[in-house]
Amino acid sequence: MAIEISELDKMQSNYMSAVDAWMEAIHDEKTLAAGNHSVAEADLWEHAHDREEEARTKAKAAKKEYEAALRQEFFNF
């Protein structure tokens, strides 16, 4: 069963957006780590780390979905 190109395009776009969000979360965490001089800043840094982990999980899920669709389309499995 062939997958519509538009569906593959949507999955690719979702993956790319998820990676962009992950990269932004990494940048935010890095920025907060550089100013870690108070308890409040340490808390913000820790929350940024949690957001980075969540973004990473979403990017990996989008990648897995997109890769599975490509395998189905190209190799029929």
1 confidence band (pLDDT: 50, 70, 90): low
CA atoms 64, 67, 72, 76: torsion sign: negative
Task: Report percent pLDDT > 70 for the chain.
Answer: 97
Note the pLDDT of residue 67: 97
Q: Are 77 and 71 in contact (CB under 8 A)?
A: yes
- Environment class of residue 15 by beta-carbon count within 10 Å: exposed (0-12), middle (13-18) or buried (19+)? buried
What are the φ and ψ backbone dihedral angles of 28, each rounded to 5 degrees?
-60, -45
pTM (two decimals) = 0.88
Q: Which of 34-46 are b and which e, b meaning 16 or more Cβ less than 10 Å from the residue's Cβ?
A: eeeeeeeeeebbe
Q: Could you read off the pLDDT of 24-44 as tens digits, one per residue?
A: 999 999 999 988 689 989 899
- CATH code: domain 5-75 is 1.10.287
